[in-house]
Amino acid sequence: KKVVFVAGHRVTTDPLAIPFSMGCNLLCIFSKKYLDSPPELKAAKQQQNMDTMAALQGLLMKGGSVIWVAPSGGRDRPGDDGEFAISPFDAKSVELFRLVAAKAKAAAAKKDETGNGALGTGPETRVFPLAMLTRKLVPPPPQTGDRDMGEQRTAKRGNVALKFGPELTDAAAASALEAKLGPEAKPSKDEKRGAFTALAEASVADMFAELLEMEKALGAKGFGKQQ
């Protein structure tokens, strides 16, 4: 009940996704590629996105919720070898959510100082990477770019596995960037800004690779039949 999923608008309009979405707490955002389609709805879609981010900030100010976010959209697709690969994370999206979290903490702390609390500090938003091995169940269509509903979809049986990684922190991101560039290097603003996203993507990719290897080692037995 405390898990909130940040998702694209199609989870509430795709006939295949609607039954699953009805049982979830959702915060829906229109992707940039859908804002102008159709043009007359662009302003309304932009307003919904602003309302969604305001609702997210409110949840973070209150604390106590688990927010699920897919920085690459959550629709990974198979590579040339036929196996699914982690899509590149969008650094701008990651930094936007981090900014909202920082604003939420500051706003909550300000409320405390004005008599709505005792500590003068807001809830801390903590970030953990999560790898999900679910690609065989209802994989996305092989191609992107089709804005119309009615894509051909298939449902299959397959293993499901989740793996959480260690908490992602600014200190860990800075350390990873220094290890990459060298201790004497002076990273640019863009490199510093992208360090957190790069660490998150690398962590998820490594965990996903581990889950693939585990699945391969288990073979037909599957995860649920481990001894």
Mean pLDDT (whole number) for 143-152: 60
Distances (CA, A) of 80 to 74, 83, 85, 209: 19, 8, 10, 16
Contact indicator for 104, 61 with CB cutoff of 8 Å? yes
What mean pLDDT, rounded, does the chain reach?
A: 85
The string of pLDDT tens digits covering residues 189-212 is 889 889 999 999 999 999 999 999
Mean pLDDT (whole number) for 68-97: 83
Residue 127 CB-density burial (10 A; 0-12 exposed, 13-18 middle, 19+ buried): middle
pTM of the model: 0.84
- Across 30-34, 58-62, 170-174, 180-184, least confident range: 30-34
The string of pLDDT tens digits covering residues 100-120 is 999 999 988 886 555 555 455
Secondary structure letter of residue 219 according to DSSP: G
Confidence at 32, pLDDT banded by 50, 70, 90: confident
Confidence at 179, pLDDT banded by 50, 70, 90: very high
Take residue 49 and report the two structure tokens written for it: 């996105």
Q: Which residues contact 162 (CB under 8 A, 6 or more apart)?
A: 130, 131, 132, 133
Take residue 2 and report the two structure tokens written for it: 């405390």
Confidence at 2, pLDDT banded by 50, 70, 90: confident
**pLDDT at residue 109, as a whole number:** 83
Residue 208 CB-density burial (10 A; 0-12 exposed, 13-18 middle, 19+ buried): buried
Contacts 24+ apart (CB under 8 A), 132-135: 132/161, 132/162, 132/208, 133/159, 133/160, 133/161, 133/162, 133/208, 133/211, 133/212, 133/215, 134/158, 134/160, 135/76, 135/84
> 139 or 67: whose pLDDT is higher?
67
Mean pLDDT (whole number) for 9-27: 87
Mean pLDDT (whole number) for 135-141: 79
Q: Prior bond to 38 cis, omega within 30?
A: yes
